[in-house]
Amino acid sequence: MRILVLGATGYLGAHITERLRALPGALLRTCGRAPTAHLRCDLATATPGDLVELLVRAAPDAVVNCAGAVGGTALTLAEVNSRGPAALCEAVRAAAPGARLVHLGSAAEYGPHPRGARTAEEDPAHPVAPYGATKLAGTLAVTSSGLDAVVLRVTNPVGPGAPAAGLPGRLTAELRRAVGESPHGTVRVGDLSAFRDFVDVRDVARAVELAVAAPGPVPRLLNVGSGRAVPVRDLVHGLVRAAGFRGRVEESLPAVGRSAAVPWQCAEVGAAGRELGWGPRYSLADALGALWAADGAVGAGAPVPADRR
C-alpha cells in the first residue's frame, strides 16, 4: 500500500507517520514544509495543479492529511484549514480518484454542548471561533467530496511534541523553566475550570492507521477521543506531578482560547469502535508522562531540541 502523508512533520503528523511506517506492506511518502519530508508542499498555498503533480508522483493508495493550523490570523487559519482540504479533494478527484483520503478534523468544530453530554457525529456543529469554523469548512469539503474519504474529528491530543500554541506544550515549557530555576516557585496559568476530552496522540495515530487499512467503505465522519471529560485542572496537576514540581500553581492569568464559550467537551466514540475496531488505550496520566519524559525532562532549564518541537 502506497501512503502519502501531508503535514507529516507537524505534531500529529510525526506520530501518525511513525505509526504508519510499521504498517505491513506500507510504502510511505511524507509531504510537508520541513526539509526532512520526502516531498515539499505547503497546503496553505498549493494550488490544485501543484497537488495533482504531487499525487501523480506519489501514486498513493491512501492519502492522510495532517496539515492544519491551530493559531494565527483568521486568514492563515482559512488558508490551511479550509482552502487546503478543498484544493486537496479537487486534486485527489483528478489524479488519484481511487485513493482513500483520511483527514484530521477537530472537536472544536462542534462548539458548545450541554454539560454532561457526549457529542456524537450527527450532532450539530456550531463553532465559536475562527479555528473551529475553518476546520468545519475543511471537514465539509472532505465529507461532500464524493471521494472514498473519512474525517477523524479529534478531541484534545496530548503527548510528546505538543506545540506551545496549546496548554500541554506551553505548560511543559513553563514547568521545565520552573524546575530548572526554582522547584518551589510559582507557575501561573489561566482559569482551569473547563472540562475537556483529552486523547493520547498514540491513540490518534492508531485510529488513522485503522482508517487507512479498513476494507470497504467507512463512514464520512468519526470521533476520536477518550470519551471522557475531565477538568483542565486535572491535566495541569497531572503534568505538575509528572514534572516533580513542588511549587504553587496559580490560576491568575487572563482567560484565553474558547474555555469560557465552551465549558464542556466530551466525544461519543462508539462509532469508531464499531466501524474501525478502535478505542482509546492510554490514560491521561500515560499521555502526560510521555509528554514530560520526551519534552520536559531534557535537562531542565535547557532549550528543547529542535526535533522535539
Instruction: Please give the positions annotated as active site.
Output: 131
Tell me how far apart the terminal alpha carbons of the chain are, to the nearest angstrom.
Answer: 30
Residue type at 282 in one-letter notation? Y
Virtual CA dihedral for 206, 168, 238, 184, nearest 10 degrees? 150
CA distance 156 to 234: 14
204 and 14 in contact (C-beta within 8 Å)?
no
Length of the chain: 309
Q: How far is CA 114 from CA 15, 39, 262, 295, in A?
A: 32, 44, 9, 35
**Strand extents, DSSP E, the chain:** 2-6, 27-32, 39-40, 62-65, 100-106, 148-154, 156-158, 186-189, 195-196, 198-200, 221-224, 230-231, 248-251
**Do the bridges between strand 100-106 and strand 148-154 make them parallel or antiparallel, or are there none, so unpaired?**
parallel
